[in-house]
């Protein structure tokens, strides 16, 4: 972490200076009010500095170029490994940003919608590499985020269903033009070799959610337990048959997925992007955020 300054949770909390963040709440049972006050409130204030700075910079550049004045959306990227809790961080941040900026349109998009359909992965022999960079339509993802930045037309993107383990055919999510967009997924900070432009080039601020390997593996196992319990009476689910396996069989399956897919993907493609983030949220047991790392430059 040589490129970052580390702050304990207590130090991070002490930076909050505005009372405007004192009464924020989220209707999610797994997020304690203390975490909102000690972690998210200072984070919102810190992000707010970037929002104000980018807005002023855009106006100054537009004035210099005698260009029509327009407010560009502020885009936040959130990455991290599978099961580390990045989706929760993204959802909580969206809910809180909507409270801090009630006049703005704040939206959240998960990049799973830009996975190639299973049939494409099968045809190209990479179904067992689902989640790796090559399993995503990165050009389509870049085109979408660019369209957001340009405030250009109706925004829509594919739907990925964890229940069927595939892209939902012939359906799209339509998104209103956002003032603030959070883009969450394992690939958002990845940069293919020598690209003309990558997804991360569109971000104004980026966050990496980090945790120790053994903790993430425990959360991954719990995730499968939740999925199997939820779909045990749903024959249409991809996981229906597995939901009726023994505990030993489901654990063995999860362990295989972790060892053959998630671990190499994390080590080779996801974790190396950590240093590209502006801020790192480090978690310990029970998803407790204990340290915050802020980029030095």
CA-to-CA distance for 76 and 209, rounded, in angstroms? Answer: 13
Return the CATH number of 104-203, one of 3.30.1330.10, 3.40.50.970, 3.40.50.300, 3.30.300.130: 3.40.50.300
At residue 146 the predicted structure's pLDDT band, cuts being 50, 70 and 90, is very high
Q: What is the pLDDT of residues 268-283, one digit of tens each?
A: 999 999 999 999 999 9
| Mean pLDDT for all residues in the chain | 93
Q: Where in the chain is the domain with CATH 3.40.50.300?
A: 104-203
pLDDT at 226: 87
Q: What is the DSSP letter of 130?
A: B
As given in the structure block, the two tokens for residue 79 are 């990455």
- pTM (2 d.p.): 0.95
159: exposed, middle or buried (Cβ count in 10 Å: 0-12, 13-18, 19+): middle
Cβ(74)–Cβ(54) below 8 Å: yes
Give bridge partners of residue 284 from the DSSP assignment: 288
Q: What is the DSSP letter of 165?
A: T
pLDDT score of 142 more than 70: yes
CA-to-CA distance for 60 and 183, rounded, in angstroms? Answer: 26
Length in residues, the chain = 297
Mark 193-232 as b/e (b = at least 16 C-beta within 10 Å): eeeeebbbebbbbbbbbbbeeebbbebbeeebeebbeebe
Q: What is the pLDDT of residues 52-108, one digit of tens each?
A: 999 999 999 999 999 988 888 999 999 999 999 999 999 999 999 999 999 999 999
pLDDT at 163: 87
The Cβ of residue 146 has, within 10 Å, a number of other Cβ atoms equal to 14
CA-to-CA distance for 162 and 167, rounded, in angstroms? Answer: 9
CA-to-CA distance for 180 and 91, rounded, in angstroms? Answer: 13
Q: What is the pLDDT of residues 154-205, one digit of tens each?
A: 799 999 998 899 999 999 999 999 999 999 999 999 987 767 788 999 999 9
CA-to-CA distance for 75 and 173, rounded, in angstroms? Answer: 18
């Amino acid at each position: 972490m040589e490129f970052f300054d580390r702050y304990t949770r207590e130090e991070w909390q002490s930076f909050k200076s505005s009372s405007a963040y004192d009464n924020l709440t989220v209707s999610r049972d797994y997020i304690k009010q203390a975490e909102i006050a000690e972690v998210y409130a200072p984070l919102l204030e810190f992000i707010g500095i970037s929002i104000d700075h980018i807005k002023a910079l855009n106006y100054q550049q537009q004035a210099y170029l005698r260009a029509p004045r327009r407010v560009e959306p502020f885009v936040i990227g959130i990455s991290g490994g599978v099961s580390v809790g990045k989706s929760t961080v993204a959802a909580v941040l969206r809910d809180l940003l909507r409270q801090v900026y009630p006049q703005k349109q704040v939206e959240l998009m998960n990049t799973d919608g830009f996975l190639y359909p299973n049939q494409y992965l099968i045809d190209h022999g990479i179904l067992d590499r689902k989640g790796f960079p090559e399993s995503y339509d990165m050009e389509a993802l870049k085109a979408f985020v660019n369209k957001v930045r340009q405030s250009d037309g109706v925004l829509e993107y594919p739907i990925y269903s964890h229940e069927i383990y595939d892209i939902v055919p012939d359906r799209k999510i339509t998104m209103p033009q956002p003032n603030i967009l959070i883009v969450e997924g394992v690939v958002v900070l990845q940069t293919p070799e020598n690209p003309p432009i990558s997804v991360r080039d569109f971000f104004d601020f980026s966050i990496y959610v980090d945790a120790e390997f053994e903790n993430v593996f425990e959360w991954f196992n719990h995730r499968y337990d939740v999925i199997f319990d939820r779909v045990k009476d749903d024959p249409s689910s991809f996981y229906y048959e597995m939901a009726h396996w023994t505990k030993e069989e489901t654990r063995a399956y999860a362990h295989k997925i972790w060892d053959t897919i998630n671990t190499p993907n994390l080590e080779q493609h996801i974790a190396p992007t950590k240093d590209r983030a502006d801020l790192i949220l480090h978690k310990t047991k029970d998803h407790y955020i204990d340290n915050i790392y802020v980029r030095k430059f």
